[in-house]
Amino acid sequence: MRKTWALGDIHANATALRAALAMLDESPADELVILGDLLTYGPDPAEVLDLVAERHARGAVLVLGNHDQLYQELLDGDTRYYDRLPAWIRASADFTLSRIDASVFSALRFVREHVVDGVLFAHANPWGDWRYLNTDSDHRDAARTMQQRWLKVGVFGHTHRARIVAMPSDERHDETVRWQSTGPRDVLLLNAGAVGQPRNRTATSTMLQLSADATTCHARLHTIHYDVSTHLQRLRELPLGADVIDRLGTFFEPRPAPARLDDRAGR
């Protein structure tokens, strides 16, 4: 089976990304897939671009996320998506745009999705848009689309919440799964979580390690251990309003468990 590391939603957090890359270097795989959203929210856009560009040059696959599309559009002078964003995200995007080298970003070659050995890697879902996979209904819709495409395993990000869901039973797994398809409706949906801005209740950054082929998958979610206080200090030093900095910092505060994993992710 092909061995892959999948990580995404880095969001300009170089402290977390360096820790993640050090972890995967200790356990090399056949492929690294970066699931998109390199920028916004964090203090280190230029450093993150440099780290990603170096891995991209060594063969890492870059999947387009909605925040990657945002900067593609802004660099082309298109502000339609930007204009619809909340003010605190626009403020972070303005800072980010002022700190990145457009030539470095433009040299990255993103793909909308990546399919290898029957495994689909995409930023958000199997449809190619930015719909979140949060609810039972979302998972059922995604499973049906995967079945129609003759795909069994889907790996996503976007929600910033790590999940392992086996369909059609909607069976949830915590950190690991050893899964094998036994029927035509069986689909495994994996979410790698977020490297740079976790939105789970424990405020834990994660990435995904998997060995998979068209019908079998062994997957494990890994916690990324890094000095969160260093990242938060870097956030506090940003030339942004106090309300924006406070909002960015809240994602790193553990929260009570929700009644169901049916909450809506932010943009």
Task: Tell me what pLDDT residue 255 has.
Answer: 80
Say if residue 29's pLDDT is above 50: yes
Residue 266, pLDDT above cutoff 60: no
The pLDDT assigned to 264 comes to 44
How much is the average pLDDT of 183-193?
96
Whole-number pLDDT of residue 14: 98
Given a cut of 60, whether residue 265 has pLDDT beyond it is no
Q: What is the mean pLDDT of residues 17-28?
A: 97
Work out the pLDDT band at 256, boundaries 50, 70, 90.
confident
Predicted pLDDT at 238: 97
As a whole number, the mean pLDDT across the chain is 95
Q: How far is CA 54 from CA 2, 104, 157, 241, in A?
A: 23, 11, 22, 32
Please determine, for residue 263, whether its predicted confidence score (pLDDT) is greater than 70.
no
Pairing of strands 119-122, 153-156: parallel
- Average pLDDT of span 47-72: 98
pLDDT at 64 over 90: yes
Neighbours of 192 (CB within 10 A): 30
Average pLDDT of the segment spanning 207-221: 95
The domains found in the chain, sorted by start residue, are 2-250 (3.60.21.10)
**85-140 confidence digits (pLDDT tens):** 999 999 999 999 999 999 999 999 999 999 999 999 999 999 999 999 999 999 99
Instruction: Tell me the Ramachandran region of residue 34: left when phi exceeds 0, alpha when psi lies from -120 to 50, beta otherwise.
Output: beta
- % of the chain surpassing 70 pLDDT: 96
Q: Which residues contact 117 (CB under 8 A, 6 or more apart)?
A: 1, 2, 212, 213, 214
Residue 195 CA to its chain's centroid (Å):
7
3 state DSSP class of 171: strand
Rounded CA-CA distance 47/11 in Å is: 11
